[in-house]
């Protein structure tokens, strides 16, 4: 795949506010193609998580906080991931467009499938929370949302077919935690095969 087609896909108006899981039959090395010009074209804030460096829970937290250094004393747990993503909707961050691009997430999935599904659920759920707005239970506490504006943020997972081998449904949120916030457990995520 040429980088122009990847940029077109990621910049498509139809997919603008959706998280994406991009599946390839073989692993394609696009790291070098994601140069500064491409990052600027895609968003103000581009966070490239190198999955080849994420084979354990600890390595995930190290990579995440290096690429998204918004919390001092990051807690190294899934709750801290939720807190970190929520910072994208605060202050000047809320005015930016955020793209989390996780390259080769199957490396973590292979080694720690339970943690992988927990952290993906936290990422996708929190991104829905800060970006969709209309599904939030505003009628229960309208005073909390009177000045609320959705933040433009999404996650793109780019990996091989192993991401589907675990039968994990990326279009659904799995933790009952999200029942407190949403009418349903849709993750606003689309799975796309590239080959």
What local confidence, expressed as pLDDT, does residue 4 receive? Answer: 61
Distance CA 158, CA 189 (A): 13
Q: What is the pLDDT of residue 101?
A: 92
CB 74 within 8 A of CB 62: no
Cα angle: 16, vertex 64, 54; to 5 degrees: 105
Its pTM stands at: 0.86
User: Measured between alpha carbons, how far is residue 5 from residues 9, 12, 179 in Å?
Assistant: 6, 10, 37
Nearest to residue 138, comparing CAs of 82, 176, 178, 181?
A: 181
Quote the pLDDT of residue 96. Answer: 81
Q: Integer distance in angstroms from the first to the last C-alpha of the chain?
A: 9
Q: How far apart are CA 79 and CA 109, in angstroms?
A: 19
Q: What is the pLDDT of residue 134?
A: 44
Tens-digit pLDDT string for the chain (195 aa): 556 677 788 888 888 778 999 888 765 667 666 766 666 666 678 899 999 999 999 999 999 999 998 888 899 999 999 999 999 888 878 778 888 999 999 999 999 999 999 999 999 999 998 886 544 445 555 566 555 566 888 999 999 889 987 788 999 999 999 998 888 899 999 999 887
């Amino acid at each position: 795949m040429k980088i122009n087609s990847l940029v077109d896909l990621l910049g498509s108006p139809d997919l603008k506010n959706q998280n994406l899981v991009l599946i390839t039959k073989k692993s394609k090395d696009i790291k070098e193609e994601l140069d500064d010009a491409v990052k600027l074209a895609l968003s103000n804030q581009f966070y490239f998580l190198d999955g080849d460096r994420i084979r354990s829970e600890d390595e995930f937290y190290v990579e995440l906080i290096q690429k998204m250094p918004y919390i001092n004393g990051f807690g190294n747990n899934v709750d801290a991931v939720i807190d970190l993503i929520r910072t994208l909707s605060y202050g000047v961050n809320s005015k930016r467009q955020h793209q989390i691009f996780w390259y080769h997430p199957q490396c973590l999935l292979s080694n720690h499938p339970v943690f992988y599904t927990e952290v993906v659920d936290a990422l996708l759920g929190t991104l829905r929370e800060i970006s969709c707005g209309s599904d939030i239970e505003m009628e229960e506490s309208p005073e909390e949302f009177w000045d609320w504006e959705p933040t433009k943020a999404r996650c793109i997972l780019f990996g091989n077919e192993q991401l589907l081998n675990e039968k994990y449904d990326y279009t659904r949120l799995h933790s009952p935690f999200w029942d407190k916030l949403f009418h349903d457990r849709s993750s606003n995520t689309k799975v796309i095969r590239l080959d």
